[in-house]
Amino acid sequence: MEKQEERKSSLLDGWNAPPNIVTFSRIVLVVIFLALYVMAGAWGTKNTTMRWVAAIISIIAACTDKLDGWMARKYNQVTELGKLMDPIADKLLTCGTLIVAAIFNEFGNAVLGWVVTALFLIREIGITIMRFFVIDTGGKVIAASQAGKYKTLCQCIGLAMLMLPMWSLADGMNTTPLWMTVYYTITYALIYLALILCLYSGGEYLVNTFGGRKKTAKSEKETK
């Protein structure tokens, strides 16, 4: 019981630190963004202005990810809660966006959109469960890897580009302008690149988690 209470208290240490407050604020922004995204309709055809606002909020939410990380490192306020909640806030933003985009068929192909979304969700939910498992067994939360950070960057940029209703700028034109074709080609390329990095970093996390635990157990046996 004592050990369990120690783990709980250590996880909650620094919950009100400024970097963690920024993380909690990001979660609130994500909820507002998703509500506006849904109300604006597919591609923002029901309310283009609302879609623009939703896109801007999603970009602000994504940018605060760098802010809380910078604050935590600069002011030495890195906490276990922060390392846990930061990726969860990111997943709420990215996974929520992917699900709504798939429902609205904004990936161009309904089947491909759901396959991409499902792969992202399997990895993201799986890693989140793994993080809770590590905490529950008394281990340290493993921070995001470099590949995971690149994944988040590509994913956030790609989804932000998808959210922006750039089609409205060419509304009324007889033909699709070249810049729009290039724009959406880059958008989807970033999302698919993020998927590759997502699966790679997920495998990397599993290796680091279980590999590290095996090494720790082995070293403990050798010292006995």
Decide if 128 contacts 120 (C-beta within 8 A).
Answer: no
List Cβ neighbours of 60 (8 Å cut-off, separation of 6 or more). 29
Q: What rounded mean pLDDT belongs to the chain?
A: 82
Could you tell me the pLDDT band of residue 224, with boundaries at 50, 70 and 90? low
Q: Is the pTM of this model over 0.85?
A: no
Q: Provide the pLDDT for residue 5.
A: 45
Lowest pLDDT segment from 43-47, 119-123, 149-153: 149-153
Summarised one tens digit per residue, pLDDT across range 160-186 is: 999 999 999 887 777 889 999 999 999
Angle at 130 between CA 14 and CA 146, to 5 degrees: 75
Q: Provide the pLDDT for residue 78.
A: 75
